[in-house]
Chain A
Amino acid sequence: MAVNKEGSGYTFAFAIVLVVLVGATLAFTSMSLKDKIKKNVNDKKMMNILSSVGFTDKDVTRKNAAEMFEKYVVKRMSINSKGELLVEKSGAVNALDKEDPFNFDLKKQYKSDIAKLVQGLKNNPVELMKKVDALEDAKYPMYVVEKEGEMLYVMPMVGTGLWGPVWGYVSLREDCNTIYGAAFDHKGETPGLGAEIKKESFEKNFIGLKINDDKGGFVSITARKGGKLPGNEHQVDGITGGTITSNGVNEMLYRSMLVYSRYFKSK
């Protein structure tokens, strides 16, 4: 070969050709698998929503997720921070419909607009809510499930744990006050400590708790360090060794459920 392989020209040319080839192949693969990946993500989301109203992995699998979702979720809505209804959809989910509350990316909204507010005002929920409420474009999706003749309201939520995002779905009974079920998940909390939030042993403690006090004022639910106080209807046991994750969950529950409670009160 006449080309000088150690020369700068050859090195640059090689690097450019390699990167273009690799980039083109990856872009092509990503585009051709996009629909499949999107469907998997949506199926998982449907499974999570249904798991907050008491369906287990055995009831809802990846195979029947879309079918079960259509059967049980009668309405998909989105509201603004004042609790006013923006969009209402029913029937099968159309993955291409940008208006559909199901397709709204709550995690993205949290990451781009809300996370930095939460970071700065962690210890001042009142001030934080003022800022969060001021976000005019913020949307809050919610789902109405009809199960065994009862209307259940599923509230999606996103927050920050110790190492990364935490998220979950909390469902309320027909009275819009009593918790029917809860499902949490996380990206990378410590196994055995913060990661316990996704275990059934943590989630089942939420069942039957109330988000409002007797007079109808919003209280939220708190995971209390040192264990819930006996007879308290607004507390669950905090996670031993997972205080920061617990605090993140508390913040997420308060910030999200307050907005949803406005909708329930105006209804």
Chain B
Amino acid sequence: MSETAVVEVKKKNEALFSKKNKRLITDPLNDNNPITIQVLGICSALAITVQVEQAVIMGVSVLAVLILGNLIISLLRNLIPSRIRIIVQLVIIAFLVTLVDLALKAYVPAVSEKLSVFVGLIITNCIIMGRLEAFAMGNKAWPSVLDGFGNGLGYAVVLIIVAVVREFFGSGKLYGFELLGDPTSGAETGLYAMGYMNNNLMILPPMALIVVGVIIWIQRSRNSKLIESH
């Protein structure tokens, strides 16, 4: 994984400044998406995509941590002793995640309860470690911020797409709104009154994996660059 990232960084250094920076944001959205192409951060993609709201918040949290982490590491990159660089990166990530956790607990407690242990899991999200090590350690602050923004966005977009599919088919809702009527047994309304039932399989983690798989399939079949030769 890191090998391809290093090659990519070298290639970008040769490109024009503005064009290069733009690609830092657009690349992770499609050609080099952290979830569907690099297959990083799958654990959280499975765990918190049952509802769109949680996916949005997880996406925003990772985005914030990734931008700030990239920025801090990039500013410190010439000071960090290379022997302990991974530990320094971990300390910075853990620091930022703890800050996010405290802020969520203090200002949006309902969300904090829903995310519960997954906030802590941002620390182990390999996308963040990957970007800090592969990009921020070797690039200036501004491109690092853009790279963090791009990758965070690429992660959030996939998370939200999976969550939309799972919440709609699993609970008949989108962002908490009941689109198909009230499924309470005995008092069904809307589609439920006509005998429609939610697909409970959608709620379970394996379905997230299948949805991610379908997204990868669609993406690869549409993007000729991603089709492998063998």
Contacts and interface: CB of A to CB of B under 8 A. Distances in A.
Interface of B is mostly: helix
B227 interface: no
Contacts of A40: 105-106, 109
Contacts of A5: 79, 81-82
A22 B95 contact: yes
Given A18-B88, A29-B102, A6 B203 contact: no
A29 B99 contact: yes
Interface in A78-121: none
A37 B106 contact: yes
Interface in A17-74: 18-19, 22, 25-26, 29-30, 33, 36-37, 40-41, 43-44, 62
A5 B98 CA distance: 29
Contacts of A6: 81-83
A240 interface: no
A22 B91 contact: yes
B16 interface: no
A22 B96 CA distance: 9
Contact of A36 (B83, B84, B106): B106
Given A44-B113, A191-B203, A11 B106 contact: no
Given A19-B91, A26-B95, A26-B98, A192 B106 contact: no
Interface residues of A, number: 25
Interface string B199-219: 010011000000000000000
B102 to A, nearest CB: 5
A62 B83 CA distance: 48
B105 A15 contact: no
B117 interface: yes
A260 B99 CA distance: 41
Nearest to B112: A40
A33 B103 contact: yes
Contacts of B9: none
B81 A33 contact: no
B86 interface: no
Contacts of A37: 102, 105-106, 109
A205 B115 CA distance: 28
A264 interface: no
A188 interface: yes
Contact of A62 (B81, B109, B117): B109
Nearest to B113: A44
B180 interface: no
Contacts of A43: 109
A205 to B, nearest CB: 14
Interface in B54-104: 79-84, 87-88, 91-92, 95, 98-99, 102-103
B109 A14 contact: no
A33 B113 CA distance: 17
A25 B99 CA distance: 9
B200 A62 contact: no
Nearest to B105: A37
Given A10-B81, A11-B84, A62 B110 contact: yes
Contacts of A192: 200, 203-204
Contacts of B91: 18-19, 22
A41 B109 CA distance: 8
Interface of A: 5-6, 10-11, 14-15, 18-19, 22, 25-26, 29-30, 33, 36-37, 40-41, 43-44, 62, 187-188, 191-192
The 8 nearest A-B residue pairs measured at CB = A40-B109, A36-B106, A33-B106, A11-B81, A22-B95, A37-B105, A37-B106, A33-B102
Given A44-B113, A187-B116, 4 more contacts: A6-B83, A11-B81, A14-B79, A25-B99
18 contacts: A5-B82, A6-B82, A11-B81, A14-B84, A18-B91, A22-B95, A25-B99, A26-B95, A29-B99, A33-B102, A33-B106, A37-B102, A37-B109, A43-B109, A44-B113, A62-B110, A192-B200, A192-B204
